[in-house]
Amino acid sequence: MRALGLVVEYNPFHNGHLHHLTQAKQQTGADVVVAVMSGTFLQRGEPALLSRWYRAEMALAAGADLVVELPYAYSVQTAERFAEGAVTILAALRCSVLNFGSEKGEIAPFYALAEFMNDHQVAFNHHVKQFLKDGVSYPKASAQAFSMLSGHEKLLPLDQPNNILGYHYVKAIQRLGISMEATTTLRIQAGYHDKEFAGPIASATAIRKALLSGENIETAVPAHTARLIQMYKRRYRLLHTWEHYFPFLQHKVLTTPLAELAKTAECSEGLEHRLRDSLFSASSFQGWLSATKSKRYTQTRLQRLFAHLLTGTTAEENAAIQQSGPAYIRLLGMSETGKTYIRENKKTFSLPIVTRQGELRRYGQAGEQELRISQCYWLPLPPQALKQEVTREFQQKPINWEKRS
C-alpha cells in the first residue's frame, strides 16, 4: 500500500482542505492517506478551536485514513522544527510520498530553493545574524537575508507561510536522509491571511473569524465539519480561543518568580519583565498581545511564548524532547483502510503507536508533556465539565471511523 503523508492543522477542516486531500491522493496514486496534525496548540501559537478528536473526525470524514498527532514540542514551533517533527512521524509510518499545497503547484522550485540554500547557508546565516542585531524579528531577518543572496530572484519568495513550510518539508526530508518524495498540489483557496469570506473556498483565518462572530460558515466547510462544530459548541459551550486562557496566563505571570518565568520556552532577552510590566495594562488577551508586540517580537512568536507559559513548558523540557526526537506516534483516529495499513505495516514502523493516554507514562518527559498539555487545553471548562473531560480523555481510544454511505 502506497502511503501519502499530509501535514495539517485543520483548524477547522474546510473545503480548501478537502480539495487538497482529494487532489493529493489522486495525484500521488496513494492507497492510504496519513495526516499528521497539530494537537491542542498550533504552529502559530494558538489553541485549536476544537479538540484534536473533533478535528481528527473531520479529517476522517473527508477521506483521511490515519490521523496522528504532531507532539507539542514540534507543533508550537518555527516552520523548521515543525516540519522536522512532522516528516519524522510520517517517515516512521512509512509514508513514501508527502504532499503540501502551494500557490503554483510545482515541486521543482522547492527542490531548487533547498539546493540554493545548501549552497548559500553560510552567507544566509551571516545575514540573518546581522538583521537580528538590528532588532527585527526572525521571520523578517530570514526574508531579508534571503533577498541579500545573489540569484534569489528566480526562486520562490520566502515571505509566504506556505512557501516556508513547503521548503522546510523538503529540507527536513533531505536532512533526515529519508526516502520520501515531496510533491505539491495547486492550492485553490485564498491566501492564508485573507479575511474575505465568500463562496465555497475561504481561508482558515476567514472561517475562524466568521465562526467566532457567530456567522454561518456552512458554504465554506464540508457538511460533516459544520455538524461537528455545532456538536462541539453544544457540548462544551465554547470554541477555544486565547481569551479563554487569558486569566490563567495573568495568574501565571503574576505569581511565578521572574527567574522561573525566564525558564519558559521562547522567553529570552528578559521578555519576562515585559510580560510582568504589561500584565494589567490590557483587559483582553488581544489587548495584551498588542501591548507586548514589537518590531522584534512578532505576534506568532509571542503567542508561542504564551502557549509555553500557559502549559508550563520550559526551554529545557522542549530541548530534551526534541533532542531525542518523537518517541511514539499518538494515533487519534483511523478508517478501515487505515486500520488495515497499520495491521500490515506495524512491524516496519520505526516508532511505537500509542492509543491511550495511560500508555504515555512509558515515554518519560515526552509523555508527561503530552498529558499535561492535553489537560491544560480543557482548563476553560467549568470544574465539573473539566473533571469529566480529563477523565474521559484519559480513557479515550482512537476514533474508529467506518465510512458511511
Q: Does 395 bind a copy of itself (CB under 8 A)?
A: no
Q: How far is the CB of 184 from a copy of itself (least distance, A)?
A: 39
Stretch that binds a copy of itself, among 75-83, 160-168, 349-357, 368-376 (CB under 8 A): 368-376
Among 118, 125, 350, 391, binds a copy of itself (CB under 8 A): 391
3-state secondary structure 70-108: ECHHHHCCCHHHHHHHHHHHHHHCCCCEEEEEECCCCCH
C-beta of residue 401 within 8 angstroms of C-beta of residue 57? yes
Residue 90 or residue 249: which is nearer to a copy of itself going by CB?
Answer: 249
Stretch that binds a copy of itself, among 35-43, 53-61, 98-106, 255-263 (CB under 8 A): 255-263
Residue 148 or residue 320: which is nearer to a copy of itself going by CB?
Answer: 320
Residue 88 or residue 311: which is nearer to a copy of itself going by CB?
Answer: 311
Q: Does 364 bind a copy of itself (CB under 8 A)?
A: no
Among 148, 282, 291, 315, binds a copy of itself (CB under 8 A): 282
Q: Annotated binding residue at 273?
A: no
What single string gives the DSSP state of each residue in 328-348? Answer: -EEEEEEEHHHHHHHHHHGGG
Question: Which of 282, 280, 249 lies closest to 267 in space, CA to CA?
Answer: 249
348, with CB counted inside 10 A (0-12, 13-18, 19+), is exposed
Which residue do the cell numbers 512509512 mark? 94
Question: Which of 87, 82, 106 lies closest to 97 in space, CA to CA?
Answer: 87
Q: Does 323 bind a copy of itself (CB under 8 A)?
A: no
To 5 degrees, how large is the angle CA 57–CA 94–CA 374?
A: 40
Residues 152-191 within binding reach of a copy of itself (CB under 8 A): none
Cα of first residue to Cα of last residue in the chain, in angstroms, is 23
Print the binding letters for residues 208-247 with a copy of itself: x by CB under 8 A, - otherwise.
-----------------------------------x--xx
Residue 99 or residue 256: which is nearer to a copy of itself going by CB?
Answer: 256
Q: Which runs of E-coded beta strand occur in 9-140?
A: 32-38, 66-70, 97-102
Q: Does 320 bind a copy of itself (CB under 8 A)?
A: no
Rounded CA separation 47/50 (Å): 8
Write out the residues near a copy of itself by the rule CB under 8 A: 243, 246-248, 250-252, 254-257, 260, 280-284, 310-312, 314, 372, 375-376, 379, 383-384, 386-388, 390-391
User: Which residues define the annotated binding site for ATP?
Assistant: 7-20, 101, 162, 187-188
User: Which residues define the annotated binding site?
Assistant: 7-20, 101, 162, 187-188
